[in-house]
Amino acid sequence: MPADSPLLVVGSIALDSLQGGLFTDELGGSALYTSLAAAPEWPVRMVAPVGRDAEERVRALLAPHPTIEPDLEVLDAPTYRWFADARDGRNVDLGSRDSIYDLWSPRPPADWQGWAFVGSMRPDRQLEAARRLAGCGLLAADAMRSYVEAAPDAARQVLALADWYFCNEEEFAALGGGADPEEFRRRWRLRGLVLKHGPGGVTVFGEHGRLHRPASLGPVVDTTGAGDALAGGMLARWHRLGGAPEALGEAVEQGVVRATLAISDVGIRALAGLPAER
């Protein structure tokens, strides 16, 4: 693994409608959340599609973050849109408009040897990205419940290609996780499984054992992107520390720190350092 290579993030850019439409056209998506969470720790190369309707906003957002190298494909299609409401401290997925994926095919750098994270996106495109990156230094992937349920075969093929896999309890159940996450990890030959429990923190099942980190105390304004922020913060810190097993605990703690920041305000505002929305 090239020690100085950036963390490659392949994912979505979105215009989100949050909290039942209380906030609309909020920039989001797995690529932005993960990259913004990772960038203070390690350089990021971000591969994602965006429509012309959001291109200028995305470039302006990323301009103050020089450690993020945006590899954007700008398309004559509406930017991906996601709709959600908030109930009992969690997001309820109300659907999406993802026609941009009909025109976009992920093109990560050929023969990538560094670390890569494939964030949630339409399952056929996530699988395509994972296939192109299979065999890289470390391939991590994330789940999204609605897509797991809509295309379980593609989701499981991504799972089979990944070295590390991030999912919450509902996504774990939809993947047929059963009662024993460690058995699930071994069955899918994962080097690591990161199981997210929301306010219950996060548990990592890995080749060198199990570790748990509780959620941090702090305001919970909007839980959108918390899992992406956890992954970005964890992978970037672990990469910076050389990826040694003994450094994993510190890396997970940093992931929790970044997720806690993400949920302290609406959308990507806190991660991006934008003015607070209260």
Say which CATH superfamily domain 7-272 falls into: Ribokinase (3.40.1190.20)
Q: Do residues 231 and 166 touch, judged by C-beta distance below 8 A? A: yes
- pLDDT above 90 as % of the chain: 91
Query: What is the pTM (predicted TM-score) of this model?
Result: 0.95
Q: What is the pLDDT of residues 28-39, one digit of tens each?
A: 999 999 999 999
Kindly give, in sequence order, each residue whose CB lies less than 8 Å from that of residue 34, ignoring residues fewer than 6 positions away.
Answer: 9, 11, 44, 117, 119, 228, 229, 231, 232
**152-161 and 123-133 helices, crossing angle to 10°:** 20
Q: What percentage of the chain exceeds 70 in pLDDT?
A: 97
- pLDDT value at position 121? 95
Question: What is the model's pLDDT at position 175?
Answer: 95
| Least confident window among 55-64, 66-75, 101-110, 266-275 | 266-275
Numbers of helices and strands, H then E, in the chain? 10, 13
Among 44-48, 55-59, 86-90, 161-165, the minimum mean pLDDT is found in 86-90
**Residue 274 confidence class, pLDDT cut points 50, 70, 90:** confident
pLDDT of residue 86: 87
Neighbour tally for 64: CB within 10 Å:
10
Task: Spell out the long-range contacts of 59-67 with Cβ–Cβ below 8 A and sequence spacing 24 or more.
Answer: 61/27, 61/32, 61/268, 61/272, 64/273, 65/35, 65/36, 65/39, 65/272, 67/39, 67/40, 67/42, 67/43
Q: What is the pLDDT of residue 1?
A: 43
Q: What per-residue confidence (pLDDT) applies to 3?
A: 64
Which is higher by pLDDT, 89 or 136?
136
